[in-house]
Amino acid sequence: MEKEVVLPGELLGERKGRKLGQGVYLENDKIFSKILGMPRISDVEVIVLPLTGKYIPRFGDRVVGTIKEVEISGWLVDINSPYVAFLPLSEGVEEFVDTQRSDLSRYFDVGDTIFCKISRVTKQKVTQVSMRDMIARKLYGGVVIKVTPTKIPRIIGKAGSMINMIKQQTKCEIFTGQNGFIWIRGENKTKAIEAILMIERESHTSGLTERIEKMLGGK
């Protein structure tokens, strides 16, 4: 379905043993939306993401971050959230590092961009990230753009269909963070950015896939 916006009070379906996530409530074993937002309904959980708002870190999210500060035992990372994340040395570098003698900026310096994973979030929103993930890496060159975090699932598309189409048509490398930061590098990154911003702007409308395909010069 292209239409992905639900209204407060709108019925999302019966519970059927599913977990209730953010933005929903239960009434007579039926799940309703609390807010105006984008539903994410699976066999195990039902949530509604607000159309606007800051990124709130969640365990397991993959995010694009920018190194903000180099500290004695790790790095502070901007993840487009009210909460700055910490990348501990043990989660950022596999080799042994003598912190008394080594300058940690040789691994990650201020301004560097990384693709990492949220590895810990406390009740107080103290957030830790890790590079110990199959697709985590330092990202070289390219540009980072910022979109509304809740629009990321639409930008990615079902099973990655939308973002893969953009990659193929523009011949760009693209890493999409669930925090709303997107890193892009390639020969036609301007066209890729244009497509991504169009999806963000028109994510709630029908026929979007066809319009993006046409804009990119597809069928």
pLDDT digits (tens, 9 = 90+) for 29-58: 999 999 888 888 889 999 887 776 778 899
* Residues 74 and 124 placed together within one structural domain of the fold: yes
Copy the structure tokens of residue 151. Answer: 């629009």
Which of the listed residues 93, 121, 139 is the one where a domain comes to its end? 139
| Structure confidence by residue, pLDDT tens digits, 163-191 | 999 999 999 999 999 999 999 999 899 99
Question: How many domains is the chain partitioned into structurally?
Answer: 3
68 and 135 part of one domain: yes
Mean pLDDT of the chain: 90
Q: Say yes or no to pLDDT of 131 above 60.
A: yes
Asked whether residue 33 is domain-assigned, the answer is yes
Residue type, 38: M
pLDDT at 218: 61
Are 147 and 134 members of one domain? no
Give the CATH number, domain containing residue 22. Answer: 2.40.50.100
For residue 152, CA distances in Å to 55, 87, 97, 178, 199 come to 11, 23, 36, 6, 9
Amino acid at 135: I
Q: Are strands 143-146 and 181-186 parallel, antiparallel or unpaired?
A: antiparallel
Q: Convert the pLDDT of each residue in 77-116 to its tens digit.
A: 999 999 999 999 999 998 887 777 778 999 999 999 999 9
Same domain, 183 and 200: yes
CATH number at residue 147: 3.30.1370.10
Q: Which residues contact 31 (CB under 8 A, 6 or more apart)?
A: 11, 12, 13, 14, 15, 18, 20, 24, 25, 46
Question: Domain check: are 154 and 196 in the same one?
Answer: yes
Q: Any idea what DSSP says for residue 18?
A: P
Q: Are residues 98 and 118 in the same domain?
A: yes
Quote the domain boundaries for residue 40: 11-50
Residue 44 belongs to a domain: yes
Domain end call among 77, 110, 139: 139
- What confidence tens digit (pLDDT) does each residue in 186-213 have? 989 999 999 999 999 888 777 888 999 9
- The single residue listed with the structure tokens 């040789």 is 106
